[in-house]
Amino acid sequence: MSNSKDFLRAIVEEDLKSGKNKEIVTRFPPEPNGFPHIGHAKSIYINFGIASDYHGHCNLRMDDTNPTKEDTKYVEALKDAVEWLGFDWGDNVYFTSDYFPKLYDYAVELIKMGKAYVDSLTEDEIREYRGTVTQAGKRSKYAGRSVEENLDLFERMKKGEFKDGEHILRAKIDMSAANMKMRDPLLYRIRHAHHFRAKNEWCIYPMYDFAHCLSDYIEGISHSICTLEFENNRDIYNWVLDTLSLTTPRPYQYEFARLGINYTVMSKRKLLELVQSGQVSGWDDPRLPTIAGYKRRGYTPESILNFCDQIGIAKANSTVDVAQLEFCIRDDLNKKVPRVMCVLDPLKVTIENYEGCEEIDAPYYPHDVPKDGSRKIPFSREIYIERDDFIENPPKGYFRLTPEQPVRLRHGYIITCKEVIKDSNGNILEIKAQYHPESKSGCDTSSIKVKSAVQWVSAAQAKRVEIRVYDRLFKNEAPEGIEDLNPDSLKVIKNALIEPAAITEKPDERFQFERQGYFYADPIEYTDEKPVFNKIVGLKDSWAKKTKTTKSAPKPQTKKIQVDGEVVPMSEVQQILFDKYTGKLGLNSEVANTLARDKELSCFYEDALSVNNSPVTIANIVANEVARELKESQIDELKFSAKQISELVKMVDDEIISSKIAKQVFEEMAKSGENPTQIVENKGLIQISDPSKILPIIDEIFAKNPDNVAKFKAGNTKLLGFFVGQVLKTTGGKANPKVVNSLVTQKLK
């Protein structure tokens, strides 16, 4: 399926080669507590993809160990998603709840071995006793209970003799372990709650760390692939299986980076909030990053799989630009779907010299698409065009209909405006026009020149449709929650008009509406009386113009330490650092959090800062680039020092190199350990700021792009970015963007 070999496939191949595994068995183990999102699609693609590449199989397992949040409707949504994406889980869906009796027996075994005990501390005490990153924890006084007492208490926990939180079962490992997850992790808790499958049979529930590895073992999983936040849980995973001597063949855990996408939120908890608060119409709201949302909006499974393939599998978390997903759906539909005409904001045009009606034969696909098919478009005296395809006093460079400028009706005739009818307020009500009989598309013998063709529909045959235009749900690149919602994410157009051919086709179909974008007949609300179309995506990336810097800036890695899903409060020292970073040093809270919570990173940061006092720039590089390196290697294995980082930052501050080049230098430094100044000199990366060196390049680019120069001078100032981009490209990113910008602006005046 995938042709590139990633690190997971490399491991799998090695294990097959060495004979460690005879069969590859993976699993996709969602908790049925919400609808799956595109992050899950990535996990599905990896787990099912790897299994199928190596002729193994992948289990679909519901990780249903938390009775209060789970529900059958989520199980169904998960099955739908996997199926829609084209994967097959075989005969059974597995449920962790089916293993509850076995898991209980394993827990009893651990108790008998003296490796687990019933603890009776309160939640707060447990947290307090756990210690901190720098301080060892201390063991509960209940850890000394005898095996008999533990067995008795655990059985009574199961029988329901205690209240929630009164006791818990813990593994007896090491309260001073450097990996805090190993400080006597929780194995079972009491929850008097109704479970959607086990009903009221159980009132103790296994924790993730206990249930997951054993479920993997029970199912004969060979490779247990999960996301990076479980990295520290791997030690418990191995401890449980090893302690119980579950050896023949046993599963191993591997981690990959979670998918994050900008302009959206991606955790089921946050999605649930949006659904419950009514900010969206449901889990399948086409603006949500849920699989059901994409499906309803009109995305194809192919486009999502293709996206998952493109983003690849990495070990460092990063945020992917949503534009990349939009590219994938556009790319998929471009060659697949028929093109028809729809007018979203109709303006009436009466063609005064036309009588009767005719049908124009028009192909569904352009020449370069290897698909056939055509339809008849009715044409008559009264038509509608898009309101903004006519302007009375057009700006320079406006190519559509004006009182002076004729336009072609797509697939039809050229028309000329004769008269503009307005109401008493000056609003345009109608255009009176004339058509040119010899100008019919395909057999045009007229000599009339037009600059563009516009979509239109014939008034008598056009059908009224509702169009739902979706935009990004959040206005911020990294939204926190409801306060960042984009108020314009849904626009409903009630009175759009569409050509009849797009109606007679079966619903649940996709079209390109010419010049508008890709649309999908809503699979749920579309009816003959009221056809509804969802906008899937526009023809071009409209946000690339609106915001200049939407490129996927890697998100700082937040090494949050988690206990049962809660972020551990900061230690006193961490809190002091955090306050200093966000206060005096002016870092944003995410970067400050990353640094403050990680002793190695904060020491490294302070070291670099003592050489070069550029707190924000250094912090960004330490929280991103250095943190990433530290995921792969120990601090004393790093090839570069804090001093070298500050040297690098100083070159950026002094404008010797651009921050883009700085990334390149960093990669080199991380590999070779060479000094940044040396790298910059050897590779000739010094930033070019001298106008006399940049101006000839600008001249050359202007000479190569006369059309764009003309367009810019005619008022299309958005092309500034194009010119600056070209200069940067020509110089391999070395030209100083600020200087280029002002030179280009001056020259174009």
Q: Would you list the DSSP string of 652-718?
A: HHTTSS-HHHHHHHHHHHHHH---HHHHHHHHT---B--HHHHHHHHHHHHHH-HHHHHHHHTT-GG
Does residue number 40 form part of the binding site for ligand ATP (CB under 6 A)? Answer: yes
Stretch that binds ligand ATP, among 34-42, 543-551, 654-662, 665-673 (CB under 6 A): 34-42
- Closest by CA position to 43, among listed 205, 183, 229, 178: 229
Three-state SS letters, 494-534: EEEEECCHHHHCCCCCEEEECCCEEEEECCCCCCCCCCEEE
Can you tell me which of 92, 122, 200, 267 binds ligand ATP, judged by CB under 6 A? 267
**Closest residue by beta carbon to ligand ATP:** 39
Count of beta carbons in the 10 Å neighbourhood of residue 480 = 10
In the complex, the smallest distance separating the C-beta of residue 37 from ligand ATP, rounded to whole angstroms, is 6
Can residue 77 be called a binding residue for ligand ATP (CB under 6 A)?
no
Which of 203, 259, 626, 685 forms a contact with ligand ATP (CB under 6 A)?
259
Task: Decide: is 227 part of the binding site for ligand ATP (CB under 6 A).
Answer: yes
3-state secondary structure of 277: coil
Q: How far is CA 556 from CA 310, 311, 559, 613, 625, in A?
A: 22, 18, 9, 21, 9
Cβ(634)–Cβ(628) below 8 Å: no
- Enumerate the H helices of 130-174 as residue ranges: 147-159
Nearer to ligand ATP by Cβ, of 227 and 281: the residue is: 227
Decide if 496 contacts 467 (C-beta within 8 A).
yes
Is residue 691 a contact partner of residue 739, using CB atoms and an 8 Å limit?
Answer: yes
| 45 Cβ neighbours under 8 A, 6+ residues apart | 85, 305, 308, 309
Q: Which one of 103, 171, 226, 498 is in contact with ligand ATP (CB under 6 A)?
A: 226
Q: Which helix (H) or strand (E) holds 226?
A: strand 223-227
- Indicate which single residue of 21, 26, 43, 303 sits in contact with ligand ATP (rule: CB under 6 A): 43
Using rule CB under 6 A, residue 206 touches ligand ATP: no
**Residue number with CB closer to ligand ATP (234 or 268):** 268
Minimum CB distance to ligand ATP smaller for 62 or for 450: 62
Please report whether residue 42 would count as binding ligand ATP according to CB under 6 A. yes
Q: Nearer Cβ to ligand ATP, position 268 or 411?
A: 268
- Out of 6, 31, 231, 444, name the contact with ligand ATP by CB under 6 A: 31
Task: Count CB atoms within 10 A of the CB of residue 117.
Answer: 27
Beta bridge partners of 361: 376
Residue that is written with structure tokens 């008269």 in the block: 419
Pattern of binders to ligand ATP over 709-738, x per CB under 6 A? ------------------------------
d(CA 85, CA 43): 12
How distant is the alpha carbon of residue 642 from its chain centre? Answer: 33
Q: Which is nearer to ligand ATP, 74 or 581 (CB)?
A: 74
Judged by beta carbon, residue 64 or residue 389, the one nearer ligand ATP is 64
Is the Cβ of residue 29 or residue 531 nearer to ligand ATP in the bound state? 29
Q: At 214, list the tokens.
A: 């054993």
Residue 523 interacting with ligand ATP (CB under 6 A)? no
Binding of ligand ATP at residue 624 (CB under 6 A)? no
- Binding of residue 434 to ligand ATP (CB under 6 A): no
556 counts as binding ligand ATP under rule CB under 6 A: no
**Enzyme catalytic residues:** 31, 258, 268
Kindly state the number of chain residues that form the binding site for ligand ATP, as judged by CB under 6 A: 15
Is there binding between residue 268 and ligand ATP (CB under 6 A)? yes
Residues 123, 125, 130: CA angle, nearest 5 degrees: 100
* Residue 29 contacts ligand ATP per CB under 6 A: yes
Angle between helices 737-748 and 691-704 (to 10 degrees): 60
Binding window for ligand ATP (CB under 6 A); candidates: 163-171, 265-273, 310-318, 319-327: 265-273
* 39 touches ligand ATP by CB under 6 A: yes
Residue 266 touches ligand ATP, criterion: CB under 6 A: yes
Q: Is 630 in the site for ligand ATP (CB under 6 A)?
A: no
Residue 258 or 463 having the CB closest to ligand ATP: 258
- For the bound state, the minimum distance from the C-beta of residue 74 to ligand ATP, rounded and expressed in Å, comes to 9
Which stretch in 25-33, 108-116, 364-372, 713-721 sits in contact with ligand ATP by CB under 6 A?
25-33
The H or E element spanning position 168 is strand 168-171
CA 738 to chain centre: 31
Is residue 479 within the footprint of ligand ATP (CB under 6 A)?
no
Tell me which residues touch ligand ATP (CB under 6 A). Answer: 29-31, 39-40, 42-43, 63, 226-227, 258-259, 266-268
